[in-house]
A and B are shown apart, each in its own frame.
Chain A
């Protein structure tokens, strides 16, 4: 991909991810447990991981988290967001590299690891090991939301590939 295309793609994807985070923040899920999310922005992370690369996905996620934290989220949540997204991306990257799973499996693991990362930070920050007990319910919802996000990201990634092949 030539440089200018890459720059505009970055900008566009950040805008999309930012918007998805915003949409998610104004339509919160009924709260069963704190931390439960659909993870719409993970569509962009998955797309970047599959169509650009791990480094690009990490940069995009990091910029999105910073933007979100400084605009409509709370700054205190920055550490949690970075830990969640970091662990999530790392595990998705490793799982993708094995080549044994589809984008849906990768997405599910990403969703669960997002929660695991946040809970680990929370356990350290507020010093309460009991928080691990909310991981099962979060993981259960993570399987559901991860599947939906994985299917969506799969469709988008495929379409984009088709567009790329037909515009050259």
Chain B
């Protein structure tokens, strides 16, 4: 290992650290879970209501999305890798659950304190 390798590792760690710090600073608990298939919004679930929905993804796969105690997670899926099911529950607006085979994304939007800030026109598209 050369001296430059060490410098490289240290600078990479510094960049990662700064990125994580910024993420922590901007991240806040959201109000809605937005579910997108292939970039289009198909479902918008309020995080304060416990629900369970079946999402039919691109390519015919399904994901069972559950909202419980203010967090959202994928309970079951028939995609081959099931990374989405293994993913931890999310509730902050910087978190995402992705199911690449079904092209499904769950994002968190809106803030808990200010629910009127949700862009409803975005949902209407």
Q: Interface residues, chain A, CB within 8 Å of chain B? A: 31, 34, 74, 76-77, 80, 100-102, 104-105, 108-109, 112, 122, 125-128, 130-131, 133-136, 139-140, 143, 147
Known: A105-B8, A128-B105. A133 touches B100 (CB 8 A): no
Where chain A touches its partner, the secondary structure class is helix
Between B59, B86, B96, the greatest number of chain A beta carbons within 10 A of the residue's beta carbon is seen for B96
User: Can you offer 24 A-B residue contacts whose CB atoms are under 8 A?
Assistant: A34-B83, A74-B80, A74-B101, A100-B2, A101-B5, A102-B2, A102-B5, A104-B1, A104-B5, A105-B2, A108-B9, A112-B12, A122-B98, A122-B100, A126-B39, A126-B103, A127-B39, A128-B39, A130-B95, A130-B105, A133-B96, A135-B19, A136-B16, A143-B12
- In-complex Cβ contact of B13 among A31, A105, A135, A143 (8 A): A143
**B12–A34 contact, CB under 8 A?**
no
- In-complex Cβ contact of A133 among B16, B80, B95 (8 A): B95
Docked complex Cα distance between A76 and B4 (Å): 38
Q: In chain B, residues 1-51, which have Cβ atoms closer than 8 Å to a Cβ of chain A? A: 1-2, 4-5, 8-9, 12-13, 16, 19-20, 23, 36, 38-39
Q: Report chain A residues within 8 Å CB of B105.
A: 126-128, 130
Q: Interface residues, chain B, CB within 8 Å of chain A? A: 1-2, 4-5, 8-9, 12-13, 16, 19-20, 23, 36, 38-39, 59, 80-81, 83, 86-87, 94-96, 98, 100-101, 103-105, 107
- In-complex Cβ contact of B98 among A101, A109, A128, A136 (8 A): A128
Q: Report chain A residues within 8 Å CB of B95.
A: 130, 133
**B8–A101 contact, CB under 8 A?**
yes
**A102–B96 contact, CB under 8 A?**
no
Known: A127-B36, A128-B96. A76 touches B9 (CB 8 A): no
**B87–A34 contact, CB under 8 A?**
yes
Docked complex Cα distance between A140 and B80 (Å): 26
Q: Report chain A residues within 8 Å CB of B38.
A: 126-127
Between A31, A108, A133, A134, the greatest number of chain B beta carbons within 10 A of the residue's beta carbon is seen for A133
Q: Report chain B residues within 8 Å CB of A101.
A: 2, 4-5, 8
**A109–B8 contact, CB under 8 A?**
yes
Known: A102-B2, A139-B12, A143-B12. A130 touches B20 (CB 8 A): no
- Give the Cβ gap from B53 to chain A, nearest Cβ, in Å: 19
* Further contacts, 6 of them, CB under 8 A, given A105-B5, A122-B98: A34-B87, A76-B100, A102-B5, A122-B100, A127-B38, A134-B96
Q: Report chain A residues within 8 Å CB of B96.
A: 128, 130-131, 133-134
**A133–B5 contact, CB under 8 A?**
no
Q: Report chain B residues within 8 Å CB of A34.
A: 81, 83, 87, 98, 100
